[in-house]
Amino acid sequence: MLKALVKDFRVIFERDPAARNWLEVVFLYPGFQALVIHRLAHWLWLLGIPFVPRLMSHIARGLTGIEIHPGATIGCSVFIDHGMGVVIGETAIIGDSALIYQGVTLGGTGKQNGKRHPTLGSGVIVGAGAKVLGNIQIGNNVRIGAGSVVLREVPSDCTVVGVPGRVVYRSGERVEPLEHGRLPDSEAMAIRALVDRIDALENEVEELRSPMDATAAKAAELERLMLVSSMSNADCNGSECCLIEDRAIQEFLDGAGI
């Protein structure tokens, strides 16, 4: 437990440029204070001592604004930044080197017994106000954008944004832990793609409305029939094929791989 606290203390200086000396960290960082109390409460919880661990959790909530159930399992080098409004459920598991911002909830989706809270891998970053709900697995080095609501499992090395949370990829570009403003906006990309699609269809309609002689009309009709025939052979209708061709729309509708 002492080794874990030392690692929790050191990681603050690595991840928070505002941390200048050990006195500030010990007395003015509620995230560190909440972890100190939780690690002691969790040790008592594992010993089977009743009431006292929950009382310690309740006191820590009043002092720091961070509510961590004593049954939650938290790894080393975890940093809860600011922390106000953070809620971590009883069966939640947080891996090493996790970074959690204010307003985060690691909660359940029902009243069932057993494992009902999420499991976070190592190096996971959960942005401000994000909610991760249910007995789901979040892989290693996952970035969850601020305000996202994650309800399904997420593979390692992905970035999740939106409500509900959707996996987006940065084409190999790494997003640094504190650079939330650089997270991609999957909804905006999908809407932009749909607007472009509508513009293209409107242009085609305008062209069809223009006068055509009989020969051109027959040629256009023949071309349309051939196109429909080829699409039917591929077991795909026109609207579905258009969506499949547009990667941004398809990834948005499918949850981008979740």
**Claim to verify: residue 90 and residue 28 sit in the same structural domain:** yes
81 shares its domain with 7: yes
Answer yes or no: do 176 and 191 share one domain. Answer: no
- 198 is a domain residue: yes
Place 229 in a pLDDT band, splitting at 50, 70 and 90: low
Q: Is the pLDDT assigned to residue 178 strictly greater than 50?
A: no
Higher pLDDT among residues 241 and 114, named by residue: 114
Are residues 130 and 210 part of one domain? no
Last residue of a domain, one of 182, 212, 239: 182
The residue type at 99? L
Residue range(s) defining the domain that contains residue 213? 186-253
pLDDT in tens, 123-159: 999 999 999 999 999 999 999 989 999 999 998 888 8
Query: Within this chain, do residues 128 and 234 fall inside the same structural domain, yes or no?
Result: no
Q: Which residue in 139, 134, 137 sits closest to 149, CA to CA?
A: 134
Q: Which residue matches tokens 């999957």?
A: 186
**Number of domains making up the chain:** 2
Q: State residue 257's pLDDT score.
A: 47
Q: Are residues 200 and 166 in the same domain?
A: no
Percent share of the chain, pLDDT over 70 = 73
Domain boundary among 165, 182, 199: 182
Mean of the per-residue pLDDT values of the chain: 81
Instruction: For Cα atoms 84, 126, 150, give the angle at the middle one, nearest 5 degrees.
Output: 110
Q: Is the pTM of this model over 0.75?
A: no
Can you give the pLDDT at residue 124? 94
What is residue 204's predicted lDDT score, i.e. its pLDDT? Answer: 80
Task: Answer yes or no: do 206 and 223 share one domain.
Answer: yes
Residue 27 sits in the same domain as residue 51: yes
139/252: higher pLDDT:
139
pLDDT tens digits, one per residue of 180-204: 555 666 666 777 777 778 878 888 8
Which segment of 99-103, 121-125, 133-137, 247-251 scores lowest on mean pLDDT? 247-251
The answer to the question of residue 258 being in a domain is: no
Asked which of 182, 211, 239 is the last residue of a domain, the reply is: 182
Identify whether residues 104 and 227 lie together within a single domain: no
Question: Based on the domain organization, do 170 and 201 belong to the same domain?
Answer: no
Q: Are residues 99 and 168 in the same domain?
A: yes
SS3 of the chain: the string is: CHHHHHHHHHHHHHHCCCCCCHHHHHHHCHHHHHHHHHHHHHHHHHCCCCCHHHHHHHHHHHHHCCEECCCCEECCCCEECCCCCCEECCCCEECCCCEECCCCEEECCCCCCCCCCCEECCCCEECCCCEEECCCEECCCCEECCCCEECCCECCCCEEECCCCEEECCCCCCCCCCCHHHCCCHHHHHHHHHHHHHHHHHHHHHHHHCCCCHHHHHHHHHHHHHHHHHHHHCCCCHHHHHHHHCHHHHHHHCCCCC
The predicted model gives 221-230 an average pLDDT of 65
pLDDT-wise least confident of 41-55, 74-88, 105-119: 105-119
